[in-house]
Amino acid sequence: MKIGIVCYPVKGGSGVVASELGLALSAIGVEVHFFSYALPFRLTGFDEKFIFHQVEVSDYPLFQHSPYTLTLATRLADESRRVGLDIIHAHYAIPHAVSGYIAKQILGGRLPKLITTLHGTDITLVGLDPSFFAVTKFSMEVSDALTTVSRYIYDKTYESFGITKPIKVIHNFVDNERFKPSQKGCDRSIFARPDEKIIMHMSNYRPVKNATDVVRVFKMINDQISSRLVLIGDGPDAPNVLRLADKLGLKDRTLFLGGQDTVETILCKADLFLLPSASEAFGLAALEALASGVPVVGSIVGGLPELVKDGEVGYLAPIADVETMASRSLEILSNPDLHRKMAENARKLTVEKFDTKAVVKQYYDFYEEVLARD
Ligand code: GMT
């Protein structure tokens, strides 16, 4: 099987899922081609396991905005013809599914099949914008098959776009061998004293992540139990987060690590992970924390309850209810038996339900099913 994976290269869940999927498919013998305007961030340099096709971003003087959708479509058509791709798997509808459709039209044949995975803001935010709505709906209708990363996005897609074709839910996944509680590099003394707790957050700091609420919750935790806040990732709200930490007198307790590649050696040092998002299709960062044996406290939003089982692996509270998030966090942090139980449950959950091998098999079987269709 030859597959072309189209994704965003920047730090964000859809790019991570697409990259990890490609690597896992390659490990089971699939020929994997990645298409993007830069190397997706979880893929490091040249690797025999896949071929990366860098798509041109044209700077022709006539274009004030580069027509990336078209250069991507051209590249997909050219490479499909050259290597004989069976499937174009578009991650995030806009514009990847549209480019895949144009490439198929250029080729005019039965193959490649176009499979689109809807990741979240393509359905809940960007796709609903009137300037994108019709093209997002169209991109779903012309895809040969659709998948969503959660049951929540499945429901939202039908509800918001009124499409009628079947959608398959394939949850996001995590490499439980890489993300695990104790491993080399998990010594926590670099971040905190033995009597202090380590609270973590990881995101792209877009407004939907409500990252300033992380600091508000942390303040209430630290007032009761001496703690350190470790922030991973970067994005537009990061300066606001740091400003608030400073304003609340938490500057010396806050460590901003910025974008990191090997997050598995950082997450495993945490006692608690916070994800107070206003919108979350799935919450891949929370899944990586759970696999690392770290309980999660976050908001009751989107697909998060599909992985953060309330009371079992952490707690969820209404969006922006920082008081409840803080009291739930303190409940976990001040009760070693509860913390241990939640950490064990978290690990059990990610191994049994969200492991890379099992979920990638679901994708592979789905590819075969779609290829067998007329
Ligand atoms: O906004 C983001 O966090 C990035 C976005 C993306 O498409 O890259 O993430 C979405 O996809 C992830 C992977 O499927 C999900 O885990 C995230 O929940 C989802 N983000 C949102 O819905 C806000």
User: 121, 152, 210, 307: which to mutate for ligand 1, most atoms within 8 A of CB?
Assistant: 121
223 pLDDT higher than 90: yes
Q: Assign 3-class secondary structure to 24-35.
A: HHHHCCCEEEEE
Residue 7: band (very low, low, confident or very high) from pLDDT cuts 50, 70, 90:
very high
Which pLDDT score, from 0 to 100, does residue 48 have? 86
Same-domain pairing of 56 and 194: no
Same-domain pairing of 155 and 192: no
183 pLDDT higher than 80: no
CATH at 10: 3.40.50.2000
Same-domain pairing of 68 and 158: yes
CB distance 8 to 90 below 8 Å: no
- 55 lies in which domain range? 2-173+355-371
Same-domain pairing of 361 and 341: no
Same-domain pairing of 363 and 316: no
Which residues, in sequence order, are CB contacts of 357 under 8 Å at separation 6+? Answer: 24
Cα-to-chain-centroid distance, residue 43: 15
Does residue 288 sit within a domain? Answer: yes
Span 149-180, pLDDT tens digits: 999 999 999 999 999 999 999 999 999 999 99
Centroid of ligand 1 to alpha carbon of 120 (angstroms): 5
User: 119, 208, 301: which to mutate for ligand 1, most atoms within 8 A of CB?
Assistant: 119
User: 14, 41, 169: which to mutate for ligand 1, most atoms within 8 A of CB?
Assistant: 14
Residue 373: band (very low, low, confident or very high) from pLDDT cuts 50, 70, 90:
very high
Span 233-286, pLDDT tens digits: 999 999 999 999 999 999 999 999 999 988 999 999 999 999 999 999 999 999
Length of the chain in residues, anyone? 374
Same-domain pairing of 126 and 20: yes
Residue 11: band (very low, low, confident or very high) from pLDDT cuts 50, 70, 90:
confident
CB distance 225 to 195 below 8 Å: no
Q: How far apart are CA 338 and CA 116, in angstroms?
A: 40
Same-domain pairing of 257 and 225: yes
Same-domain pairing of 361 and 305: no
Span 360-369, pLDDT tens digits: 999 999 999 9
Span 299-334, pLDDT tens digits: 999 999 999 999 999 999 999 999 999 999 999 999
Centroid of ligand 1 to alpha carbon of 284 (angstroms): 7
Which pLDDT score, from 0 to 100, does residue 228 have? 98
Residue 44: band (very low, low, confident or very high) from pLDDT cuts 50, 70, 90:
confident
Ramachandran angles phi, psi of 110, nearest 5°: -80, -35
Q: How far apart are CA 161 and CA 126, in angstroms?
A: 13
Residue 186: band (very low, low, confident or very high) from pLDDT cuts 50, 70, 90:
confident
Centroid of ligand 1 to alpha carbon of 270 (angstroms): 22
Same-domain pairing of 328 and 266: yes
Q: How far apart are CA 171 and CA 180, in angstroms?
A: 19
Across the range 328-349, mean pLDDT stands at 98
Which pLDDT score, from 0 to 100, does residue 41 have? 84
Does residue 277 sit within a domain? Answer: yes
Same-domain pairing of 18 and 86: yes
Pocket of ligand 1 (CB under 6 A): 12-15, 17, 92, 119-121, 149, 172, 204, 206, 208, 279-284
Does residue 179 sit within a domain? Answer: no
Ligand 1 atom at minimum distance from 282 CA: 18
Ligand 1 atom at minimum distance from 284 CA: 16
Residue 185: band (very low, low, confident or very high) from pLDDT cuts 50, 70, 90:
confident
Q: Assign 3-class secondary structure to the chain.
A: CEEEEECCCCCCHHHHHHHHHHHHHHHCCCEEEEEECCCCCCCCCCCCCCEEEECCCCCCCCCCCCCHHHHHHHHHHHHHHHHHCCEEEEECCCCHHHHHHHHHHHHCCCCCEEEEEECCHHHHCHHHCHHHHHHHHHHHHCCCEEEECCHHHHHHHHHHHCCCCCEEECCCCECCCCCCCCCCCCCHHHCCCCCCEEEEEECCCCHHHCHHHHHHHHHHHHHHCCEEEEEECCCCCHHHHHHHHHHCCCHHHEEEEECCCCCHHHHCCCCEEEECCCCCCCCHHHHHHHHCCCCEEEECCCCHHHCCCECCCEEEECCCCHHHHHHHHHHHHCCHHHHHHHHHHHHHHHHHHCEHHHHHHHHHHHHHHHHHCC
Does residue 178 sit within a domain? Answer: no
Tell me the C-alpha to C-alpha distance, in Å, between residue 187 and each of 191, 267, 274: 9, 11, 20
Residue 289: band (very low, low, confident or very high) from pLDDT cuts 50, 70, 90:
very high
Across the range 221-231, mean pLDDT stands at 98
Which pLDDT score, from 0 to 100, does residue 182 have? 82
Does residue 181 sit within a domain? Answer: no
Q: How far apart are CA 167 and CA 180, in angstroms?
A: 32
Across the range 189-211, mean pLDDT stands at 97
Span 87-127, pLDDT tens digits: 999 999 999 999 999 999 999 988 999 999 999 999 998 98
Does residue 83 sit within a domain? Answer: yes
Cα-to-chain-centroid distance, residue 290: 14
Which pLDDT score, from 0 to 100, does residue 109 have? 87
Centroid of ligand 1 to alpha carbon of 16 (angstroms): 10
Same-domain pairing of 27 and 129: yes
Mean pLDDT of the chain: 96
- How many structural domains compose the chain? 2
User: 42, 148, 284, 287: which to mutate for ligand 1, most atoms within 8 A of CB?
Assistant: 284
Same-domain pairing of 150 and 200: no
